[in-house]
A and B are shown apart, each in its own frame.
Chain A
Amino acid sequence: MQDVIIIEAGRTERHYWLDLWRYRELFRVLAWRDLSVRYKQTVIGVLWALIRPFLTMLVFTVIFGRIAKLPTDGNAPYALLVFAGILPWTLFSTGLSEASNSLINNTSLISKVYFPRLIVPIATVVVAFVDFLISFCILILLIVWYWFLPDWRIIVLPIFVLLAFFASVGPALWITSLNVKYRDFRYVIPFIVQFGLYVSPVGFSSSVVPAQWRLLYSLNPMVGVIDGFRWCILRGQNELYLPGLLASGAVIAFFLWFGVRQFRKTEKSFADLI
């Protein structure tokens, strides 16, 4: 029996999530395309994924650790503390900025071929994830350098990686669908990323934030993620602030739900507007 496709006005795709699964191959191919294009025509190629976070770490360690003399968590080396913050932050920020522009970077695809549009932004976040894995090698080197080996807590790390992933996907979906209609939002993203780098505890420990502001501070979803990363990597030198983590998690979940909802709502008109 052949399948019958019905196209109707306002018909919400009942098989949307099934379709998404059916198009997994396209998803893989698009992610692979973005990956292989990323470092073509660069001399040092993949090394970029190592150099950028490494230099950021050096600068932050010097500025926050040496010059501002901010305290580290417990007895963790400051460089390691910074790098444990840079890792999730880069995953979040590259994911967010790449995915936010993904739809308008794929205009020709969207106006000429049908596929569940959700594939495009998520495939670009996967690219950011691969960069993350590459940068992870530096972390391993640092751990060996300082001989600050992680304990059992490292097992929980994948959960926080996933959390960082969702933290970038949610707003990215919302912004990329807005971007299709109003190109203003492409100017917002670099600002958010730059701004976020300083309001998130990337270069410093979140324990420097006064206790009464801690919960409010945790409404920044990256606070929970970065704290979690540090907790896993630095043998729990920082006390995991549970209410803050829950707050961050709730914000991430809200944005994910909101992003997917907005994306699905506007998805059908992408081809007309782009």
Chain B
Amino acid sequence: MSENAIVVENLSKRYLIGHRLSASGGRFKYTALRDIIGREISNFTRKAADVVRGRQVVQGDEIEEFWALKNVSFEVKQGEVLGIVGRNGAGKSTLLKILSRITEPTEGRISLRGRVSSLLEVGTGFHPELTGRENIFLNGAILGMTQREIRRKFDEIVAFAGVDKFLDTPVKHYSSGMYVRLAFAVAAHLDSDIMIVDEVLAVGDHEFRQKCLAKMNNIASHQGRTVLLVSHDLAAVSEMAIRALLVEGGRVAADGNVADIVSRYLSRDADAIYVRPPGQKSSTPFINRIEVCTSESNAVHRFGEPLEVKIWIQHDAPIEKGCLTLNVHNQHQHAIFDALAHYPYFRFGNSQNKTLLICKLPSPKLYVGKYYLSVHLSEPPGGDLYESLDGVCMFEVTRTDRTSLFPRLSGECAYFEEYYWETADADTTEHYVTHVASHSTLQDVD
């Protein structure tokens, strides 16, 4: 029997959040200067009292307790790869932060057996002024490698990142792709008993992602190593993990086989409209609502009709450099295409505090099947990620305008392409030379 590498018992984490009572509505319907002054004074005295008592100071008029995690318990066996899925704000990151000892739990107990490395971000501590070589040593030390270990793996790291020509260039001159490649390369060469990994796969171009995935798989399959993996990339989670947890509202909603958990996670969002859950506060821009305007009701879209995706963004201040990425995924969690609205080529969010972005697809080529959206709102690469939504707004594409002997099965192909067939004389040699349409007898009936 293999031992438990990680045991989590009744873990809870509480945060205090403050609310500002708005001048209109709420209790202060008619705002008088007296009220404002009174409120500010009482806030100030409360803050002063908190300072004196050494407690956390919370901005706002009313304080609310918020349980980011509540009574979370699970066990991970040694050598097991556990995926953790859940929506944004479900508590996944808090869980990882507690497991990596960055923050303390409010209640509960965890025991970890062995050396723990946590990768909550690639390139933690990278300094732009330092060269690639120096950053490898710096980042390695931050992640817990000894200098000897780094020196031993140095060539391997450089080769993996493919930056050997720029080793002595400050990383501020690196392209964002090179930067993340180097950052991931260092992280990928960590060697410990328990690895806690968050979202690090979402970096680089496609080719590098494949390389990362292969490396991660390699890490995960390493004998006796325990891996906790949080990712929005459900394809990656399903590929690497065998078991998964579904976290919802700070609780473990389900624990089991990764395929079941992923499908359960996705089925919860079988709705063409995403509405931001009420009660979530955010100071940075956030996405309020996403709607897929399909041609039919019940989120069914008929092939050939134009499709629209509407995204409402809420922002207190104008968004200076907004980047919005819309990805469409199929039911196998493969990304089919993306639609980008990126600064400086496309600017949005400059005027009011609400922006509606409409993505128009005049003739989408999506194949018959179910699709999901992932929407990411951020600053340009290297900046903040404001919001990242995955697996929202499910819709279904049907195609009924054609008759065919063979039914088109949902998700069988990725997309429809325009094509036509023609017949030609099979005996003329020129067609053999150019290899064009030698079996063109079955003509599609449109």
CB pair A266–B54 under 8 Å, yes or no, is: yes
Q: Which residues of A contact B193 (CB under 8 A)?
A: 2
Which listed residue (A3, A111, A182) contacts B57, Cβ 8 A?
A182
Is B205 in contact with chain A by the CB < 8 A criterion?
no
Which listed residue (B56, B112, B118, B121) contacts A7, Cβ 8 A?
B112
- Identify which of A7, A41, A109 gathers the most chain B CB atoms within 10 Å of its CB: A7
A8/B109 contact (C-beta < 8 A), A37-B127, A112-B124, A268-B103 known: yes
CA distance A269 to B146 in the complex (A): 27
CA distance A7 to B113 in the complex (A): 11
The distance from the CB of B24 to the nearest CB of chain A, in whole angstroms, is 30
CB pair A3–B114 under 8 Å, yes or no, is: yes
CB pair A268–B57 under 8 Å, yes or no, is: no
Interface magnitude class on chain A: 35 or more
Is A26 in contact with chain B by the CB < 8 A criterion?
yes
Q: Which residues of A contact B54 (CB under 8 A)?
A: 265-266
Q: Find the B residue at minimum CB distance from A13.
A: B101
A272/B15 contact (C-beta < 8 A), A4-B113, A37-B129, A182-B51 known: yes
CB contacts under 8 Å to A, within B146-204, are 146-147, 170, 193
CB contacts under 8 Å to A, within B71-107, are 97-107
Is B142 in contact with chain A by the CB < 8 A criterion?
yes
Which listed residue (B107, B114, B124, B143) contacts A108, Cβ 8 A?
B124
CB pair A7–B101 under 8 Å, yes or no, is: yes
Q: Which residues of B contact A182 (CB under 8 A)?
A: 51, 57
CA distance A108 to B384 in the complex (A): 12
Mark contacts of A239-269 with chain B using CB atoms, 8 A cut-off: 1 yes-contact digit, 0 otherwise: 0000000000000000000000000011011
CA distance A199 to B193 in the complex (A): 55
CA distance A216 to B436 in the complex (A): 100
The distance from the CB of A108 to the nearest CB of chain B, in whole angstroms, is 6
Is B125 in contact with chain A by the CB < 8 A criterion?
yes
Looking at the complex, which of B130-138, B238-246, B283-291, B318-326 is the stretch in contact with chain A? Answer: B130-138
Is B110 in contact with chain A by the CB < 8 A criterion?
yes
A113/B111 contact (C-beta < 8 A), A40-B129, A108-B124, A273-B56 known: no
A6/B109 contact (C-beta < 8 A), A29-B138, A109-B124 known: yes
CA distance A23 to B378 in the complex (A): 35
CB pair B56–A114 under 8 Å, yes or no, is: no
CB pair B101–A114 under 8 Å, yes or no, is: yes
CB pair A9–B105 under 8 Å, yes or no, is: yes
CB pair A271–B99 under 8 Å, yes or no, is: no
Q: Find the A residue at minimum CB distance from B112.
A: A5
CA distance A265 to B129 in the complex (A): 34
Mark contacts of B280-304 with chain A using CB atoms, 8 A cut-off: 1 yes-contact digit, 0 otherwise: 0000000000000000000000000
Q: Which residues of B contact A9 (CB under 8 A)?
A: 104-108
Which listed residue (A25, A33, A181) contacts B147, Cβ 8 A?
A25
CA distance A26 to B150 in the complex (A): 13
Number of A-B pairs, beta carbon distance below 8 Å: 107
CB pair A25–B146 under 8 Å, yes or no, is: yes
Q: Which residues of B contact A212 (CB under 8 A)?
A: none
CB pair B103–A271 under 8 Å, yes or no, is: yes
Is A75 in contact with chain B by the CB < 8 A criterion?
no
Is A36 in contact with chain B by the CB < 8 A criterion?
yes
Is B120 in contact with chain A by the CB < 8 A criterion?
yes
CA distance A115 to B145 in the complex (A): 13
Q: Which residues of A contact B114 (CB under 8 A)?
A: 2-3
Q: Which residues of A contact B56 (CB under 8 A)?
A: 181, 269, 272-273
CB pair A7–B99 under 8 Å, yes or no, is: yes
Q: Which residues of A contact B100 (CB under 8 A)?
A: 113-114
CB contacts under 8 Å to B, within A1-31, are 2-10, 25-26, 29-30
Q: Find the B residue at minimum CB distance from A268.
A: B104
The distance from the CB of A25 to the nearest CB of chain B, in whole angstroms, is 6
Is B335 in contact with chain A by the CB < 8 A criterion?
no
A41/B129 contact (C-beta < 8 A), A7-B105, A25-B147 known: yes
CA distance A33 to B137 in the complex (A): 10
Is B253 in contact with chain A by the CB < 8 A criterion?
no
Is B307 in contact with chain A by the CB < 8 A criterion?
no
The distance from the CB of A230 to the nearest CB of chain B, in whole angstroms, is 38
Q: Find the A residue at minimum CB distance from B114.
A: A2
CB pair A112–B102 under 8 Å, yes or no, is: yes
Which listed residue (B107, B112, B116, B125) contacts A109, Cβ 8 A?
B125
CA distance A36 to B112 in the complex (A): 36
Q: Find the A residue at minimum CB distance from B105.
A: A9
Is B413 in contact with chain A by the CB < 8 A criterion?
no
A112/B120 contact (C-beta < 8 A), A6-B111, A7-B112, A29-B137 known: yes
Q: Find the A residue at minimum CB distance from B104.
A: A268
Q: Which residues of B contact A29 (CB under 8 A)?
A: 137-138, 141-142, 147
CA distance A25 to B51 in the complex (A): 35
CB pair A4–B112 under 8 Å, yes or no, is: yes
CA distance A170 to B298 in the complex (A): 65
CA distance A175 to B156 in the complex (A): 42
8 A-B contacts (beta carbon < 8 Å): A4-B112, A9-B104, A9-B105, A29-B142, A37-B129, A110-B102, A112-B120, A113-B120
10 cross-chain pairs, A with B, having the tightest CB-CB distances, nearest first: A29-B141, A114-B101, A7-B110, A271-B103, A5-B112, A268-B104, A2-B114, A271-B102, A112-B124, A40-B129
